[in-house]
Chain A
């Protein structure tokens, strides 16, 4: 009988580069920068790592295909390395691979590392579709990421009969909160606080999303070294941070092709979060979870995700957001490190970057951002768009708690 991942794996060390427009370095330097921090944090030697999972997304413009880039950049000693790619949920997918290998008892110590070097494309925003001769390229609209996610707002406003101005205001507060958090995070890409008025006055990128409703596109890398609780203790570690749940949910085409979805939320997130709470033994997430880092690629994504995570009632996210429920001093702080919005979004690294903040907070090492006594953190990592996506959820917390 399967018993899930809860408390079978602990985080031994983590590292994360400064995210941003890292014109001065390439992917190799980014990977090494994150890895050195994690290795020092773990207090082990490189050759103690027995296997690695490498996450990168945009191979054509960024790091490159296969697991080679990681092995080459870190000069790993011919250990098994696997490259994983699951759209923007790639980082969580890499972490999942490393954790499962340890939980299975196949390896003692493994590495998950995500990296993306997006600022070499020559233009702002994510790279467009690759232009490969696929069937979809013969009929899908000329979409961009903002356009795909912006449609959530049209559907949400219609379903809950909310005037677009009111929804835009709640969306603006999502970004204002993340900018405030990012402004006090030295590793964040965007470090300037903004006002609701600035957000609302920004130029439209894809209706109704304005500039400040969209996250940054960044270079960066983040990684985790994981092991069993027993080995961590044997290495002298105290106050262990363990994995409570790892879930992935992948669309099957129902949202895109069957009329029972209203376009206002994520079917996968609702399923993955439910499974995650069960695996972690959480019955009331709004009360029990101390903090969350969600995939706020766009403000509206974060807004509807609060409902799919069962934090806000259906149709209730606007009220919670405007009342400050998710602010750093609110009941369940969200995007404490600035989120994708301000920490940045080097795609393959993002899932691991979210875990990095949870890890720092749980250890009381988050500096100016430190929350009082957090014990359970949830990360939500999403790839694709509302109608077809991959949702990854991880819950981490104090070992044994």
Chain B
């Protein structure tokens, strides 16, 4: 038996009320009022597809031995690097083994579901454990329909042949160069064709081809599907697609909601986001059909096993949807996404080139938050050093790698700095101290200054450290956020 052995998700904590989008931009495009219900998830200024993928993958790896991961596929259409393996950043951040295969899968809204298929085929080919992460942070022009519909998010699944929680039964794909939208090389926003054509000739015709093809291939009917998971940008098309794949009018609740009101469509991650949300509530025996659309469509069929009840608790999609901070500041949204030039002061103008040789030499420290632990006195410390920092010890060359990413910490000192260059002032930072030993000065995120207290529990999150726009380089490091 092969299939999904673990799963996780990450939806950014910030949620922008669509009413506020409409209040600011509805004058330009009154039609967007029709899709202005609820809220959309929105990356903080220091989150992108790589950081969200890391968050989802960490969630997926809760209770798993990450040293057993043999392959990592990262799917996204909004990767920060066009020629630097983004999956390599994720693998280093997760501190996976060096002797693994890593690949980016991109260029289509189908990339996420395709990564899932590729991962399952890799396991079928004999590889033991494959980690798949999908994330998207798409930009849309102010006032566009897409601006209303898009959200940011990520999901991750671990695939393998032991302790399978959702058995993979089969897949079916159709591929067409059907261009309802595209984003050219170096373009920031999508170009679209008429929405009616996209709906009627795209979604409503192509999704059923894949789903019906899979049912025929497996020799089953829609009666043997308990949950039907497929994203569709246009919520009102769900009944037509459901009908075309044989869902009876009385069985409407087997079609899983596309999360429009609570999150928006998270791009190529969305089939996996919806799948993970479904798995989080699934009972043993439940049969799930998931499809992902984009220049064709992939459909997969899973059956949940008894092992699903053995998985340790995780944040998941439902947990991260519940961990929300609502905002109606549309201007913050456009500023965070660099859709609006804002004054950050002279301190933000300092050139910040990244020494790539240092990044390579200290990759475990900077991307993986790996410090040292002195084997003589047992003191964890960051950074790892040749000489032990414990004044009672001072032993030389005694330190072994020690991961801080999952260690619980507390606030030791803090401030909220109005002088530091920040797009979200005040810049809140301070010393985070780990309960098992070790400390360092870190940026604090996902918290308000007035809520920060000395002694408050903190945990670590992988975020963008700097945007070197002059060189097109994104630097990453770890920050502290409230919680356990």
Contact = CB atoms under 8 A, between A and B. Distances in A.
State yes or no: do A and B come from one complex.
Answer: yes
Interface of A: 121-123, 125, 128-131, 133-135, 137-144, 146-148, 150-152, 154-155, 157-158, 203-209, 252-254, 256-260, 262-263, 386-387
21 contacts: A128-B347, A133-B355, A135-B358, A135-B366, A138-B355, A138-B359, A139-B477, A141-B429, A142-B420, A142-B422, A143-B441, A147-B419, A151-B431, A158-B454, A204-B426, A254-B390, A256-B440, A257-B381, A258-B379, A386-B413, A387-B431
Interface string B166-204: 000000000000000000000000000000000000000
Given A123-B345, A259-B437, A135 B419 contact: no
A128 B389 contact: no
Contacts of B365: 139
Given A139-B477, A204-B418, A257 B347 contact: no
B455 A158 contact: yes
Contacts of B385: 253, 257
A138 B420 contact: no
Interface in B349-395: 350-355, 358-359, 362, 365-366, 379, 381-383, 385, 389-391
B443 A141 contact: yes
A17 B83 CA distance: 56
- For B359, B381, B431, B449, the residue with the greatest tally of chain A CB atoms inside 10 Å of its CB is B431
B221 interface: no
B475 A138 contact: yes
B430 A146 contact: no
B268 to A, nearest CB: 29
Contacts of B437: 259
Given A135-B358, A142-B443, A253-B389, A150 B417 contact: yes
Interface string B466-478: 1000000001011
A253 B418 CA distance: 27
- For B389, B390, B417, B438, the residue with the greatest tally of chain A CB atoms inside 10 Å of its CB is B417
Nearest to A209: B415
B408 to A, nearest CB: 14
B470 to A, nearest CB: 11
A80 B418 CA distance: 44
A133 B354 contact: yes
Contacts of A257: 381-383, 385, 389, 438-440
Given A139-B477, A141-B427, A154-B454, A147 B420 contact: yes
B454 A146 contact: no
B416 interface: yes
A147 B414 CA distance: 8
Given A122-B346, A138-B358, A143-B441, A206 B353 contact: no
Given A148-B415, A259-B433, A387-B441, 13 more contacts: A130-B350, A134-B358, A135-B358, A137-B352, A138-B354, A144-B420, A146-B415, A151-B413, A154-B413, A155-B413, A204-B418, A205-B417, A207-B426
A270 to B, nearest CB: 14
B353 A131 contact: yes
Contact of A143 (B383, B420, B439): B420
B332 interface: no
- For B420, B426, B440, B478, the residue with the greatest tally of chain A CB atoms inside 10 Å of its CB is B420
Nearest to A139: B477
A106 B299 CA distance: 86
A131 B465 contact: no
Nearest to B351: A131
Contacts of A150: 415, 417
Contacts of B254: none
B421 interface: yes
Contacts of A142: 417, 420-422, 427, 429, 443
Given A143-B420, A256-B440, A155 B353 contact: no
B157 interface: no
Contacts of B422: 142
A206 B413 contact: no
B378 to A, nearest CB: 12
Given A135-B355, A147-B429, A257-B439, A205 B413 contact: no
Given A138-B465, A257-B382, A258-B379, A154 B449 contact: no
Question: A-B pairs with the 10 shortest C-beta distances?
Answer: A147-B417, A151-B413, A133-B355, A158-B454, A150-B415, A141-B429, A263-B413, A131-B350, A207-B416, A257-B389
Interface string B99-124: 00000000000000000000000000
Contact of B414 (A134, A154, A252): A154
Contacts of A252: 391
A131 B354 CA distance: 9
A139 B366 contact: yes
Contacts of B442: 141
A150 to B, nearest CB: 4
Contacts of A121: 346
B412 interface: yes
A147 B389 contact: no
B441 A256 contact: yes
A171 to B, nearest CB: 14
Contacts of A154: 413-415, 430, 454
A260 B422 CA distance: 31
B118 to A, nearest CB: 32
Contacts of A208: 415
Given A128-B421, A258-B390, A151 B381 contact: no
Given A141-B429, A141-B443, A254 B355 contact: no
B418 A258 contact: no
Contacts of B429: 141-143, 147
A248 B433 CA distance: 28
A152 B413 contact: yes
Contacts of B353: 131, 133
B366 A258 contact: no
A215 to B, nearest CB: 13
B419 A144 contact: yes
B431 A147 contact: no
A133 B366 CA distance: 14
Nearest to B476: A138
A303 B389 CA distance: 28
Nearest to A385: B441
A186 to B, nearest CB: 30
Nearest to B421: A142
Contacts of B421: 128, 142
A220 to B, nearest CB: 22
Given A142-B422, A263-B412, A131 B440 contact: no
Contacts of A263: 412-413, 431
A123 B346 contact: yes
B412 A258 contact: no
B181 to A, nearest CB: 37
A146 B425 CA distance: 14
B430 to A, nearest CB: 6
A137 B345 CA distance: 19
A146 B465 contact: no
Nearest to B444: A141
Interface string B325-358: 0000000000000000000011100111111001
A260 B381 CA distance: 12
B188 to A, nearest CB: 26
Contacts of A258: 379, 381, 389-391, 439
B419 A146 contact: yes
A260 B465 CA distance: 28
Nearest to B353: A133
Contacts of B449: 207
Contact of B417 (A122, A143, A387): A143
B244 to A, nearest CB: 52
A150 B429 CA distance: 11
A151 B414 contact: yes
A383 B413 CA distance: 19
A258 to B, nearest CB: 5
Nearest to B431: A263
